[in-house]
Amino acid sequence: MKKNRKNLALLLLAASLLAGCAGQSNSQSSQSSQAKSEKKAESKASSKSAAKSAASSAVSSTKSSSSQASSKSAAKSAASSAVSSTKSSSSQASSKSAASSSQRADANRMGTLTSQLRVKLPGMLLPAADGLGQGSSNLNIRYTSSSSQNVVYYSVGNSPLALNDSRIASEKPYAVLTEKKNVADASSLINYQEPKTGLPAVKIASNVTGTEEGAAGSTYLQFNQGQWSFVVRASNVQGQKPLPTAQKLLALYQQYGLPDTAAKSSVQVDVGESLGSLNTVITWAKGSSVYQLKAHSAETAFKMLKSLN
């Protein structure tokens, strides 16, 4: 009986030991499973973190590339703008240089021809300016000379020609300067008009008044300044008015003046300007000579006479 009890105790002890081993095994298995789950979680977290890092790196790289591209584009744009600005400045400088060269060439042509004229017509007063607004590069000059007078014709042709080239005779002159030599009675050639009285007064400027009269289908407006008489003729048939031209003459006289003269001299103008019309006639005396300049416009005449020497 005691032996059976001892065996039973041994069996219970063995069963208890087996249960303990099984529990420990289950505990180790549970811990292993938990460790594996934690590793998987850590692995997933690591993967997500790596993905985020990669995405962030990609975005950063894209931004960097975009920034570099933008910088390159800006640099190219700035360079292009600088080149464009340089080209524009160069073009403007070139245009100014060309215009300046053209003006010098025009002035040199008048100067060259006038220098040649002075050799051919010694002692004659000649203008240094051609009085033109355009066409100076094709300025042509011819002249005639005799013991009693010199005549110089100024014209603009299709091309510049040598002084007194025979082809210039076919061109319409825009100005003609004449010197009559050794004149005994200058007044008969100058046709100065004394101030008139008893005629309707016309106000030309605040301090200048002229007189007006009609004759033979025309209206004549006259005013005087110093040694000079100014007469403007307007055609009634063509509906012309003399006052605007008289006001322009006065303004030109005040701006440019007229040649020095001890004798009474005259300015006569027919209203209307056209090439070859020579409607402006200015006559004055210098020493024993009487000079007369005819021009297609009053402004051209005044500019030429301003440079007379």
User: Each residue of 155-207: pLDDT tens digit?
Assistant: 999 999 999 999 999 999 999 999 999 999 999 899 999 999 999 999 999 99
pLDDT for res 262: 78
pLDDT above 90 covers a percentage of the chain that reads: 60
Distance of CA 165 to the CA centre of its chain: 36
Cα–Cα distances in angstroms (integers) from residue 187 to residues 234, 287, 290, in the given order = 25, 13, 9
pLDDT for res 107: 61
Dist. CA 89–CA 95, nearest whole Å: 10
pLDDT for res 106: 59
Cβ burial of 304 (10 Å; 0-12, 13-18, 19+) is buried
pLDDT band at 270 (very low <50, low <70, confident <90, very high): very high
Is the predicted pLDDT of residue 89 greater than 70, yes or no? no
Identify whether the C-beta of residue 271 lies closer than 8 Å to the C-beta of residue 232.
yes
Dist. CA 292–CA 266, nearest whole Å: 10
Per-residue pLDDT tens digits for 198-246: 999 999 999 999 999 999 899 999 999 999 999 999 999 999 999 999 9
Q: Is 88 helix (H, G, I), strand (E, B) or coil?
A: helix
pLDDT for res 261: 87
pLDDT mean across residues, the chain:
78
pLDDT for res 73: 47
> What proportions of the chain, in percent to the nearest 5, are helix, strand and coil?
50, 25, 25
pLDDT for res 227: 94
Q: Which two tokens stand for residue 182?
A: 């050794």
Dist. CA 300–CA 270, nearest whole Å: 15
pLDDT for res 178: 98
Residue keyed to tokens 């039973």: 8
Identify whether the C-beta of residue 285 lies closer than 8 Å to the C-beta of residue 261.
yes
pLDDT band at 92 (very low <50, low <70, confident <90, very high): low
Going by their DSSP bridges, the two strands 265-270 and 228-235 should be labelled as parallel
Q: What is the number of H-type helices and E-type strands within the chain?
A: 4, 10
Q: In this predicted model, which residue has the larger pLDDT, 36 or 101?
A: 101
Average pLDDT on 250-260 reads 97
pLDDT band at 10 (very low <50, low <70, confident <90, very high): low
pLDDT for res 22: 37
